[in-house]
Structure 1
Amino acid sequence: MTTVTVSVAGEDDREVELEEIAGGAPPETPTYADLLSAVELSPHEATVLVEGRPVPEDRPVEAERVTVLRLIKGG
C-alpha cells in the first residue's frame, strides 16, 4: 500500500492510504482533491503544497508527503 503523510497546517499529521481513497479499480489514481476529501476538506477551502509549491487539485498524487493550507476556517 502507498501511504501519503498529510500535514494540515496547525493540526496533526495524518497518514492516508491511497488505495483506500482511489474510488475504483486500478488504474484509477487518486488526485490531490481526493486527498483533501480524505482529511475532510474541500478544494474550495484548502490548497495542497508539494515541496512548498501548490499543485492542481485534479493532478494524480505523486508525493509521499504533502502540506495542506486551509484558506478558510471557522464561520
Structure 2
Amino acid sequence: MRVTVEVVGEDTHEFDVDDETYADLLGRIDLSPHEVSVMVDGTPVPEDQPVAADHVRVLRLIKGG
C-alpha cells in the first residue's frame, strides 16, 4: 500500500508499506513517537498499531526554538 505521511507545517513523504506500524513510519522520517501525535481522519492512533490508512497526518507536540 502507498501511504502519504504529512508532517503538519513541514514536509510530506510517500512510502510503500507492507506490515509496518505507525511508529515504523515515524522512524523513516526521523521522528520519535514521544514528540508527535499520529492522526488518521482527525483521530489519534496508537503508534504500535499496523498502518491501515493511505493518508496520515503527524502533529509535532514539541518544537525547538
Tell me which residue corresponds to 1:17: 16
What is the identity percentage for the equivalent residue pairs of Structure 1 and Structure 2?
Answer: 60
Deviation at 1:39, TM superposition (A): 1.2
Scaled by the length of structure 2, what TM-score is found? 0.91
Count of aligned pairs: 65
Runs (5+) with no aligned partner, structure 1 = 20-28
Runs (5+) with no aligned partner, structure 2 = none
Deviation at 1:48, TM superposition (A): 0.5
Scaled by the length of structure 1, what TM-score is found? 0.80
The 5 A counterparts of 1:1-40 are 2-19=1-18, 29-40=19-30
1:72 and 1:64 map into 2 onto residues whose CA distance is: 25
2:40 is matched by which residue type in structure 1? V
* Structure whose residues are more often strand by fraction: 2
1:15 is matched by which residue type in structure 2? E
Compute the RMSD of aligned alpha carbons.
Answer: 1.2
Aligned structure 1 segments of 4 or more residues deviating by more than 6 angstroms? none
Equivalent position SS for 2:31:
coil
Q: 1:51 aligns with which of 41, 45, 48?
A: 41
Higher RCO (CA 8 Å, separation ≥ 6 residues): 2
